[in-house]
Amino acid sequence: MSPLWLLAAIVVFALIGAALGRNRAVSCVNGNIAELHSRPGYYGSYVMIWTALPAIFFMVAVLMAQPFFNSSIIDSELRAGYSQSCDREMARTNGDADAKLPAICADKEQYETLDTRRALMKSVVESVAVGVSLLDKATADKLHNGLVAVRPTLKEVGVALAEDVPTPVVDAANKLNEAKKTGDYILLGGVGLLLIIGLVLSYLRVSPRLRARNLVETNIKVALVLASSIAILTTVGIVMSMLFEAIHFFNKVSLSNFFLGTQWDPRFTSAGRAGGGEGSFGLLPLIWGTLYISLVALLVAVPIGMFAAIYMAEYASNTVRAIAKPLLEILAGIPTIVYGFFALVTVGPFLRDTGAAIGLDISANSVLTAGCVMGIMLIPFISSLSDDIITAVPQSLRDGSLGLGATKSETIKKVILPAALPGIVGSILLAASRAIGETMIVVMAAGIAANLTLNPFEAVTTVTVKIVSQLTGDLEFNSPQTLVAFALGITLFVITLGLNIFALHIVRKYREQYD
């Protein structure tokens, strides 16, 4: 029975409970609902909550525990099965000193020493279990007794195996199927029992004096608190998951190699092969590339964004403002993949051809390409934030300055901008943090090779590009080549978080209080 059906059953049961609870409340006072403590609907909701909640909690708990339970069964069964078969084989070749180690014993050895082998066998057992559950009774028995070969039999029911499997695997699969069946019974029985108990108990508690509304409202409030703590959970999840994997990475690669290395060459070795060399995971060229591209982007975005904001806030008529502001904000709504494509097929080739025409050697995915396009993307971030901040400067400051005979531009330069400076710096910092974390533009428009260069016409690569390229290959998950993505990710997270907090701090600390 799939969890979705079970959930549907719970919902139906809860709705029935709601109707019953409501009816009981109304009939308790013979229809005179003024005698009830709460409105009848609350009695219904009360019964509904206490019918559904325990069952749902139980279901979630069982479903979460089941995979762990199943994998421990697989593990213990395989271990027992392997050593049994191995002992049997050893006993048969006993005394023959020249005999090779039986194949099953080699399997056992591998299973006990290699993590990857264990993970592989677990998935093999799982697919065999699926296959066995599809077989009819007679064939399953034959398979169990080793009378038919496993692979062709399972192929007939549509489960393809890479290689034939030894008997311990089939036995483990059978045990797994039994455990799954028991698990299903426990789930079904437990949920049913809890539904009935919850329904009966809460139904019996319904009486005119029951403070149903208060009880229901407490539940609602708990739900609200839980919902708002998801934000915290997400942050904790981000930090924990990346820290966890990054620690794995730093167990294999030294901290100094990562943070101080100037060479990025993670040397892809094929999965599972030992001794491929550590590879060098120098972060510096990546950070340099990221900062360089972000700097170019800000050099494009800050002047354009600032002047646009100043013009819109101080000079523009209402019509110009009503047209220009949304147009610029469209730039913020365009997905970054579109900018990436624009850089890839339009800006990159254009800059390269222009460079060639005036005798400059500009690579198609140069710092300039990625930076310019990213700068275009950042214009609206700077312009709308700065616009808001400039508009928030009180009119009296402008009037005072104009009254002393300053021109409008002098007022802006000497009075308004200094007053708005903290907010503007904050908006630039926020834009910088966005530039550093931006992925798709650089994945498509920046280079692949890490490069410590000052030349804006050459290609560099960034932290985000490397996160993507390290994780989209067919690599074993536990290799340092993959885990480095998490170390890069947490570095990125810390940098952007730091910038954001710094921006907020500046805004708060230097904000002038006018009224």
Partner 1 sequence: MTDTANQSTEMLATSKNRDLGLKRRYGRERRFQAMGIAAITMGVLFLFLLFWSIVTKGYTAFQQTKIHLDIYLSEQLIDPSGNRDINVIQMPIRYNKVLEAAIYKAAGIDPKDKTKRNAMREAKSLLSKGASVDLRDLVVENPSLIGTRIDYWALADGDVDSFLKGQIPRDIPESKRKISDAQIAIIDTMAEKGVLAKQFNSNLFFNGPSSRPESAGIAVAVIGSVFMMLIVLVLALPIGVAASIYLEEFAPKNRWTDLIEVNINNLAAVPSIVFGLLGLAVFINFAGLPRSASLVGGLVLTLMTLPTIIIATRSALKAVPPSIREAALGVGASKTQAIFHHVLPLATPGILTGTIIGLAQALGETAPLLMIGMVAFVKDFPATPLDPATALPVQIYMWSGEAQRAFTERTSAAILILLAFLALMNISAVLLRRRFERRW
Query: Under rule CB under 8 A, which residues in 90-149 are in contact with partner 1?
Result: none
The window from 76-84, 127-135, 191-199, 492-500 that contacts partner 1 (CB under 8 A) reads 492-500
- Residues forming a β-bridge with 238: none
Of 343, 410, 414, which Cα lies nearest the Cα of 374?
343
What are the helix (H) ranges across 135-272? 137-144, 150-156, 167-205, 212-252, 255-260
Q: Which one of residues 46, 50, 111, 486 is an interface residue with partner 1 (CB under 8 A)?
A: 486
Residue 505, both tokens: 């701090």
CB-CB contact of 184 with 90 (8 Å): no
Q: Which is nearer to partner 1, 84 or 478 (CB)?
A: 478
The window from 167-175, 266-274, 358-366, 482-490 that contacts partner 1 (CB under 8 A) reads 482-490
Please, what is the minimum distance in Å from the beta carbon of residue 220 to partner 1?
Answer: 6
Find the Cα–Cα–Cα–Cα dihedral 14, 18, 24, 27, rounded to 10°.
-150
Angle at which helix 40-92 crosses helix 3-28, to 10 degrees, equals 150
61 binds partner 1 (CB under 8 A): no
CB-CB contact of 4 with 18 (8 Å): no
CB-CB contact of 203 with 24 (8 Å): yes
Q: Which is nearer to partner 1, 168 or 340 (CB)?
A: 340
- Residues forming a β-bridge with 280: 265
Residue 476, both tokens: 């074993």
Q: Which is nearer to partner 1, 62 or 170 (CB)?
A: 62
Q: Which one of residues 472, 510, 512, 514 is an interface residue with partner 1 (CB under 8 A)?
A: 472
| DSSP-derived 3-state class of residue 149 | coil
Q: Which is nearer to partner 1, 177 or 439 (CB)?
A: 439
Q: Which is nearer to partner 1, 16 or 243 (CB)?
A: 243
Q: What is the 3-state secondary structure (H, E, C) of 424-463?
A: HHHHHHHHHHHHHHCCHHHHHHCCCCCCCCCCCCCCCCCH
| Window 67-96: contact mask with partner 1 (x via CB under 8 A) | x-----------------------------
Query: How far is residue 405 from each of residues 200, 393, 402, 412, measured CA to CA in Å?
Result: 83, 19, 5, 13
Query: Under rule CB under 8 A, which residues in 365-384 are in contact with partner 1?
Result: 376, 379-380, 383
Q: Which is nearer to partner 1, 99 or 222 (CB)?
A: 222
Residue 212, both tokens: 């149903």
What is d(CA 309, CA 218) in angstroms, rounded to the nearest whole number?
48
Please, what is the minimum distance in Å from the beta carbon of residue 256 to partner 1?
Answer: 24
Query: Under rule CB under 8 A, which residues in 226-245 are in contact with partner 1?
Result: 227-232, 234-235, 237-238, 241-242, 244-245
Please, what is the minimum distance in Å from the beta carbon of residue 230 to partner 1?
Answer: 6
Query: Under rule CB under 8 A, which residues in 255-274 are in contact with partner 1?
Result: none
In residues, how long is the chain?
A: 515
The window from 103-111, 328-336, 396-404, 448-456 that contacts partner 1 (CB under 8 A) reads 328-336
194 CB burial (10 A radius; 0-12, 13-18, 19+): buried
291 binds partner 1 (CB under 8 A): no
CB-CB contact of 281 with 483 (8 Å): no
Q: Which is nearer to partner 1, 53 or 90 (CB)?
A: 53
Q: Which is nearer to partner 1, 165 or 378 (CB)?
A: 378
The window from 46-54, 174-182, 195-203, 329-337 that contacts partner 1 (CB under 8 A) reads 329-337
390 binds partner 1 (CB under 8 A): no
Residue 382, both tokens: 């700077």
Q: Which is nearer to partner 1, 142 or 413 (CB)?
A: 413
Q: Which one of residues 471, 476, 502, 506 is an interface residue with partner 1 (CB under 8 A)?
A: 471
Q: Which one of residues 8, 146, 504, 510 is an interface residue with partner 1 (CB under 8 A)?
A: 504
65 CB burial (10 A radius; 0-12, 13-18, 19+): exposed
Query: Under rule CB under 8 A, which residues in 168-227 are in contact with partner 1?
Result: 213, 217, 220-221, 223-225, 227
Query: Under rule CB under 8 A, which residues in 394-423 are in contact with partner 1?
Result: 407-410, 412-413
Q: Which is nearer to partner 1, 138 or 231 (CB)?
A: 231
Residue 81, both tokens: 């099965």
Please, what is the minimum distance in Å from the beta carbon of residue 503 to partner 1?
Answer: 9
Of 433, 434, 417, 435, which Cα lies nearest the Cα of 502?
433
Q: Which one of residues 202, 433, 461, 481 is an interface residue with partner 1 (CB under 8 A)?
A: 433
Residue 287, both tokens: 């950070």
437 binds partner 1 (CB under 8 A): yes
